[in-house]
A = this chain, B = another copy of it.
Amino acid sequence: MDSNLLYGEYKTKMQKIADVKYASAVLQWDQETYLPVKGNDFRGRQIATLSEMAHQQFTDEKMGDLLKELAAKDDLSDQQKKNILLSLDDYNKATKFSSHFVRRMSETTNKSFHAWIQSRKENSFAVFEQPLHDLIELKKQEADILGYEAHPYNALMNEFDKGLTVAVTDKVFSDLKPQLLALLEDIKNKPQADCSFLHQHFDKDQQWKLGIELLKRMHFDFEAGRQDISEHPFTINFNNADVRVTTRIDENDFGNMTWSCLHEGGHALYEQGLPGDEYGLPLGEYCSLSIHESQSRLWENNIGRAQPFWQHNFSLVQTFFPEQLGQISAAQFYKAINKVEPSLIRTEADELTYHFHVMIRYEIEKMLIEGSISTKDIPVYWNDHYQQYLGVTVPDDKRGCLQDVHWSHGSFGYFATYSLGSLYAAQLYAAILSENDSVEKEIAAGNTMPVLNWLQKNIYPFGRYFTSEELCRKATGETLNSTHFIQYATKKFNAAYNT
């Protein structure tokens, strides 16, 4: 059959599957924002039905045959070939698991999630230990089924970042760790900024309006998206013309809403920038979780916690909160929002110590999957390393190894992408500055378009065409490394702590 006709058939099938997937996403968005409480049970089954249907349609043998037939065609465009290659790869992965295995996984995950909830109530890891152990045993099987080279954990990391390996991650983290520790040691001995003014009362409606204004200033397209309130901030997309972010507002914390807006805004700009004509196809989807995270971190930190951005925007903040911040200088503000302070909770960590939270989880996951430690060893390892890296004593499991939901969901291989995202962000931002040395002048003058334009040229258009590493090399000329983050961090925190 003619290649173009066949490709058209593939595109039609994929886009109908996307319609179902994104419909399910709309139901999830609604569940997190507006769903009346009693509607939860029915909503759960509606989402489950759509997910099941999308999975069935994609794993259908006819789809496999179509993909294989297309993979053998040599008269497709380079882009078309890439879509087929990636879809075939997705198909082969999706069809590796028996329905029996899928069911066992979802049952076990469900058990472990509820055990995690309970363990947090009782503030005791013991309650979570056995269900987590069972889940990890299944994750090991998942790694075997998926197949891997060198290390079983690679198989799991690949689910979130294709091509990512233990070797790469170990190398990056072992470079990063000593330099970070040195930087922290240095900072510890300097006088600490007062950031109490960030914890006054900040009116909810005013915060909401500020968040909207910040999103506008970073050129989030409100005709192709919106912001709403949810318990945990997230970004979700139904196509590149409908990308939605949520935020939460803590009236006693200026930072909570502000940097979640910039963070989710960064994710959202990426989704709004993906090619719409590739809707439902791999080239219309984001590259990897690491790259997605690099986009949020770039706007949250490299831009959103830097001097140029606030040089222009602090006056805006002051007009929203004259009583709280009218007497504060931009310099005081800059120091306060960049205060480094080792802490127990990852999601509240500063830009530097954050990486240790991630490294500890990464090490634990890796060892659990390779079998060099077992579930019961988690709390001790956790607490020792929080002491060792961060110098903080973990008072209980709730503020220790029970703090994140990820493991209870079976998300193993995920955490590293948080740190790698920051490193990619620093590396991309360095490339942006090196290509255009007036960028920070522009930002200080209120114009972030040069940054957005660079991302629209070097990151957004490619979807999944490149792996994280390929995209990074293409965009920055280098492979992923910690040098740029350390340079950025050293420069920044010297400035922030310069008294």
A contact residues vs B (CB 8 Å cutoff) = 15-16, 19-20, 22-24, 26-27, 30, 34-39, 41-43, 45-46, 48-50, 53, 221-226, 228, 238-239, 241-242, 279
A242 touches B49 (CB 8 A): no
Contact B19 A46 (CB under 8 A): yes
Q: A23-B23, A27-B23, A238-B46 are in contact. Are A36 and B279 (CB under 8 A)?
A: no
Give the Cβ gap from A238 to chain B, nearest Cβ, in Å: 7
Report the separation of the CA atoms of residues A239 and B20 in the bound assembly, to the nearest whole angstrom: 19
Contact of A24 among B23, B35, B53, B228 (CB under 8 A): B23
Chain B: CB-nearest residue to A31: B26
Q: Which residues of B contact A19 (CB under 8 A)?
A: 45-46, 48-50
Chain B: CB-nearest residue to A276: B42
Chain B residues near A242 (CB-CB < 8 A): 35-36, 38-39, 42-43
Q: Which of B15, B23, B37, B223 contacts A50 (CB under 8 A)?
A: B23
Q: What are 14 A-B contacts defined by CB distance under 8 Å?
A: A15-B45, A23-B46, A23-B49, A23-B50, A26-B30, A26-B46, A36-B222, A38-B223, A38-B224, A41-B241, A42-B238, A43-B238, A43-B242, A46-B238
Distance in angstroms from A464 CB to nearest chain B CB is 19
CB distance from A265 to the nearest CB of B (A): 15
Contacts A23-B50, A26-B27, A30-B30: A223 and B42 contacting too (C-beta < 8 A)? no
Write the chain B residue with the least CB distance to A42: B239
Instruction: Tell me the nearest residue of chain B to A45, going by C-beta.
Output: B19
Q: Determine the residue in chain B with the shortest Cβ distance to A228.
A: B34
Name the residue in A23, A41, A43, A53 with the highest tally of chain B Cβ atoms < 10 Å from its Cβ. A23
Given A49-B20, A50-B19, A53-B53, residue A241 in contact with residue B38 (CB < 8 A): yes
- Chain B residues with CB under 8 Å of A36's CB are 222-226, 241-242
A29 CB to nearest B CB, Å: 8
Q: List B contacts of A30 (CB < 8 A).
A: 26, 30
- Separation in Å of the A476 CB from the closest CB of chain B? 31
State the Cβ distance, A12 to closest chain B Cβ, in Å.
10
Residues from chain B with a CB closer than 8 A to the CB of A16 are 49
Q: Which residues of B contact A50 (CB under 8 A)?
A: 19-20, 23
**Docked-complex contact B42 and A279, CB < 8 angstroms:** yes
Q: How far is the CA of A238 from the CA of B27 in the complex (A)?
A: 11
Considering only CB atoms, which chain B residue lies closest to A29 in the complex? B30
Q: Which 3 pairs across A and B sit closest by C-beta, in order of nearness?
A: A39-B242, A19-B49, A42-B239
CB distance from A156 to the nearest CB of B (A): 31
B residues in contact with A48, CB < 8 Å: 19
Within the complex, what minimum Cβ distance (angstroms) separates A473 from chain B? 33
Give complex CA distance A459, B340 in Å: 65
Chain B nearest Cβ from A496, distance in angstroms: 37
A42→B226 contact, CB < 8 A: no
Contacts of A238 in B (CB 8 A): 39, 42-43, 46
- In whole angstroms, what is the CA distance A39 to B237 when docked? 10
**In the complex, how many angstroms separate the beta carbon of A216 from the nearest chain B beta carbon?**
14
Min CB–CB distance A8 → chain B (angstroms): 15
Question: Which residues of B lie under 8 Å from residue A53 when comparing CB positions?
Answer: 20, 53
A400→B208 CA distance, assembly (Å): 46
Q: Give A226 to B30 CA distance when docked, in angstroms.
A: 12
Is B279 touching A37 in the complex (CB atoms < 8 A)? Answer: no
Report the separation of the CA atoms of residues A228 and B228 in the bound assembly, to the nearest whole angstrom. Answer: 14
Given contact pairs A26-B27, A35-B242, a sample of 10 additional A-B residue pairs in the complex whose CB atoms are under 8 Å apart: A20-B50, A22-B42, A23-B23, A23-B49, A26-B26, A26-B46, A38-B223, A39-B242, A42-B238, A42-B239
